[in-house]
Amino acid sequence: MAHKKAAGSTKNLRDSNPKYRGVKLFGWQFAKAGNIIVRQKGDKYKAWRNTYVGRDFTIHAAVDWIVRFRKKKFLRWDGRKYLKTVVEVEPIEK
């Protein structure tokens, strides 16, 4: 029985790289076409006018203009209504 027990465990030494998610361009900021507005996991923010969603749910601007965030009512499949934040790129109303 001349063997030595291992000196501790290494369960918490693995770590993943940061994903840098979140809102990149806030409301009333200028966006160029193709700019990233929101990086997200899932559909927390919904793409609306003049925006499009990338493969990883990233919302991009489709045109050069001003970013706006609004609350909008949506209807669920079971008939309930709920609010969701929509992202749109649109001209400024004067």
Q: Tell the CATH topology of 22-90.
A: OB fold (Dihydrolipoamide Acetyltransferase, E2P) (2.40.50)
Q: How high is the pLDDT of residue 10?
A: 67
Angle at CA 16, nearest 5°, toward 10 and 20?
155
pTM: 0.80
Q: In a 3-state reduction of DSSP, which class is residue 36?
A: strand
- Rg (alpha carbons) of the chain, rounded to whole number: 22
Cβ contacts of residue 3 below 8 Å, gap of 6+? none
Q: How high is the pLDDT of residue 91?
A: 82
DSSP 8-state symbol, 63: S
The residues of the chain scoring below 70 in pLDDT are 1-10, 93-94
Q: How high is the pLDDT of residue 66?
A: 96
Domain coordinates of the chain in residue numbers? 22-90
Short-list 94, 86, 85, CA closest to 51 = 86
Locate 51 and state its tokens. Answer: 């925006």
Short-list 52, 58, 48, 50, CA closest to 22 = 58
